[in-house]
Structure 1
Amino acid sequence: MRTLGTINQFLGITVLPTSTGLLLQQTRYAEEILARAGMTNSKPVSTPSIPKAVAENSSEQFGNPKLYRQIVGALQYLTVTRPDLSYVVNRACQQMHQPMVSDFEALKRILRYLQGTIQHGLPINGDSLVLKSYVDSDWAGDHTDRKSTTGFCNFLGTSLVSWSVKKQTTIARSSTEAEYQAIASVTMEIIWLRQLLNELGCSQIEPTKLYCDNTSAIALANNPVYHARTKHIEIDCHFIRDCIKNGSIQVHYISTQDQLADLFTKALPSTRFKFLVNQLITRIDSSDCRGY
């Protein structure tokens, strides 16, 4: 290893020093995506998607699926610094094999949202090195196959360090089961992060706090009593309980209104979406950037 000086660019990501730490952003890359799609002068919108209750579907296939795949593929890398795009990009990726006209219209809305938030970035602060997590699931949220979506995010202090949006592989028979599968997924990520931090000399002395808004899933995680109605998720039960027992995690209840992982599981109204986004990312302010 060798010192290369102050970091400015890394794999297409611009690193800007701020008064509180660093700001990671991909403004130039986002501009290239908009130019490729011919939407440089598009009109911005407040959210990247509309609530699924009013979304319209089309049975007409999109005439240029290659363009659709190119844009969606490019947006995937943009989510490295834009967690607010993770859910909608995940949904767009699920239609890459055979995009419809309605899918491309949804993609254009993502790009219009990007146009209005092109200066946003991911702040990294050095205020604390304590790991905490938020997890949520959208039970049977996919109207096509009724599978649920898992969403979680992990913070090191106030800095968002990892997040995920993923459709569950099996159909959950209850919201508790869907939430429990989500808890199992984030627990694996927490274990890996704790091991990584330990190797970096930032050992997590206390169990990592995991915030969940489903009281039934929390009760199931903490209650070692065998339940016949949950025997089909027995492996996840034992795995999570073992992690609680050995002090890796502590599952806590959090109000749905304060659940940050809600952003990763469903399309949200504008007010709710903006509130959650402001907890995760920030807009670049030239007066706050040293040397920018």
Structure 2
Amino acid sequence: MSDLGPLSYFLGIEVMHSDLGYYLSQAKYIQDLLVRFGITDNRTTTTPMDLHLQLRPTDGTPLEDPTRYRHIVGSLVYVTVTRPDIAHVVHILSQFYSRDSPLQLHAYSDSTWASNPTDRRSVTGYCIFLGSSPLTWKSKKQVDVSRSSTEAELRELATTTSEIIWLRWLLADFGISCDASTPLLCDNTGAIQIANDPVKHELTKHIGVDSSFARSHCHQKTIVLQYVSSELQVADFFTKAQTKEQHRLHLLKLNASDPPPPP
């Protein structure tokens, strides 16, 4: 590790030091935004928003490609770090930011079985969406060796359920309702049947904690397990290599895309 000297620029924020303290500026970041979106010739104004401006979702004509608008608003959100005076107008613009997709959680959970040739442990992964946007994801090798693909999937269902519970609590704190059960999609019918069955299974006694945990939250309606085919299993992305076509398909499902071209 080397000493790079006093901080002067970090993540688009200029840092200047004087006897009075530190001064933060995003002037360069803002200028780069103006150039990128081709609005350098626009006139300046003294306030962020006209006093009598009223915006409604029905005003104007819907954009054929709203991607550019989303990029502009998303960039302005970061500008509020040093310009709190524009926070209100950015909040107003953000109300027209998202697509008409329900703001609800849904998750994908997947696991390989004994895929590691050295220790025969399984690789597991999940991806949780809020609406159409991926919110959190994970890829990890399991600690224990699973004796079947169903066992490996059950362990990952429990892990994903824990993450879902935490996110539901977090969203509730933000005022986002999570009254409905969260769909959890899995491509292993055996794991789904065991998690939905109230009867304890002798064959899964050694993983009783994980299976009981997933089962209890199925019965509490925290989650609802749904089958998804392996071809449409987004969490496959986090557990194994993909063909070119699968990789492209899963990128589309994750809403991953190239940035818009410069104007």
The verdict on a shared fold, with TM-score over 0.5 as the criterion, is yes
* Partner in structure 1 of residue 260 of structure 2: 285
Does structure 1 residue 21 correspond to structure 2 residue 82? Answer: no
* Partner in structure 2 of residue 142 of structure 1: 116
Tell me if the contact between 2:109 and 2:160 (Cα under 8 Å) persists in the aligned partners.
Answer: yes
Which 4+ runs in 1 deviate beyond 4 A?
22-25
Does structure 1 residue 261 correspond to structure 2 residue 203? Answer: no
* Partner in structure 1 of residue 199 of structure 2: 225
Q: Distance in 2 between matches of 1:151 and 1:180?
A: 12
Deviations 1:66-99 (Å, cap 9, x if unpaired)?
xxxxxxxxxxxxxxxxxxxxxxxxxxxxxxxxxx
Match of 2:215 among 238, 241, 264: 241
* Partner in structure 1 of residue 10 of structure 2: none
* Partner in structure 1 of residue 154 of structure 2: 180
Tell me if the contact between 2:68 and 2:260 (Cα under 8 Å) persists in the aligned partners.
Answer: no
Residues 224 and 277 (structure 1), Cα distance of their counterparts in 2 relative to 1, 3 Å cut: same
* Partner in structure 2 of residue 94 of structure 1: none
Residues 149 and 20 (structure 1), Cα distance of their counterparts in 2 relative to 1, 3 Å cut: farther
Residues 21 and 205 (structure 1), Cα distance of their counterparts in 2 relative to 1, 3 Å cut: farther
Residues 208 and 286 (structure 1), Cα distance of their counterparts in 2 relative to 1, 3 Å cut: same
Residues 22 and 211 (structure 1), Cα distance of their counterparts in 2 relative to 1, 3 Å cut: farther
Q: Distance in 2 between matches of 1:226 and 1:173?
A: 18
Residues 167 and 198 (structure 1), Cα distance of their counterparts in 2 relative to 1, 3 Å cut: same
Q: Which amino acid aligns with 1:233?
A: I
Q: Distance in 2 between matches of 1:246 and 1:219?
A: 16
Q: Distance in 2 between matches of 1:20 and 1:129?
A: 20
Q: Which amino acid aligns with 2:111?
A: S
Shift of 1:20: 6.3
Q: Which amino acid aligns with 1:284?
A: P
Tell me if the contact between 2:123 and 2:140 (Cα under 8 Å) persists in the aligned partners.
Answer: yes
Instruction: Indicate the structure whose relative CO is greater, using CA pairs within 8 Å and at least 6 residues apart.
Output: 1
SS at match of 1:284: coil
Identity of aligned residues (%): 41
Q: Distance in 1 between matches of 2:182 and 2:147?
A: 28
RMSD over equivalenced CA pairs, Å: 2.6
Q: Which amino acid aligns with 1:201?
A: G
- Give the TM-score taking structure 2 as reference length: 0.63
Q: Distance in 2 between matches of 1:192 and 1:270?
A: 34
Residues 20 and 187 (structure 1), Cα distance of their counterparts in 2 relative to 1, 3 Å cut: farther
Tell me if the contact between 2:155 and 2:211 (Cα under 8 Å) persists in the aligned partners.
Answer: no
Q: Distance in 1 between matches of 2:102 and 2:69?
A: 12
State the aligned residue count: 179
Shift of 1:226: 1.8
Q: Which has the larger radius of gyration?
A: 2
* Partner in structure 1 of residue 79 of structure 2: none
